[in-house]
Amino acid sequence: MTDRSAEDDYPALYLYGVQRRFAEGDHALEILRGCDLAVWAGQSVALIAPSGTGKSTLLQIAGLLEKPDGGEVYVDKKATVNLPDDERTALRRNAIGFVYQSHHLLPEFSALENVMLPQLIRGLGKAEAADRAAGLLHYLGLGERLKHRPSELSGGEQQRVAIARSVANAPRVLLADEPTGNLDPHTSHHVFGILTRLVKETGLAAIVATHNLDLAAQMDRRVTIREGKVVELA
């Protein structure tokens, strides 16, 4: 774990000794070899690593989409590896938000409806979900786009809707995989600035995988994966 004072709270996300291997013929290909990574509330961590080093695997494990072969994943102090599948699913739905390179918005629904959906799935009433969704979209500068469908939005606007959707259920952890990879440099910086501000102001713990070193420099910490382990960068 990164050094913190004794007074600091326990990390919102803590990967401890995480291992992952895949069968490759008669051999096992070790991707992660005892990874440790702690992220605290309100902290953004850039994950900078070449393809094939286990970056996506690490995010999948952190997001409870995949189980490690060893180690533990703590979300808000809760050990998750041995939880029943239904409890892992509920924790992932309520405590973890995801943003991907492609926005994956549902084309037949408006921006407002796309952000409402995860809340409705969680069981929130329609009126409250609409209020919360509208508030998030206003916060992200999309107050005039509530009724627009994805095809009527620019690439940057679509990705901001995706960010709003990812935090609609007030998660503790945000995981983003190249969230600005499909955007032009100007739009990319704008969206990234909104994302990092959101992390600070809402107390999210965020890991953002990116190849953009300029964007990574704006984050609180930078890490990479070397020989199957997470290494802090200056």
Give dist(CA 165, CA 176) in Å, integer.
13
CA dist 123 and 174 (Å) reads 21
Cβ neighbours around 69 below 10 Å, total? 14
Spell out the domains of the chain, with CATH numbers in brackets: 11-232 (3.40.50.300)
Residues 6+ apart with CB under 8 A from 60: 66
pLDDT tens figures, 204-220: 999 999 888 888 998 99
pLDDT of 173 reads 96
Residue 8 has what pLDDT?
A: 55
pLDDT of 40 above 80: yes
pLDDT of residue 181 exceeding 90, the answer is no
CB 73 within 8 A of CB 61: yes
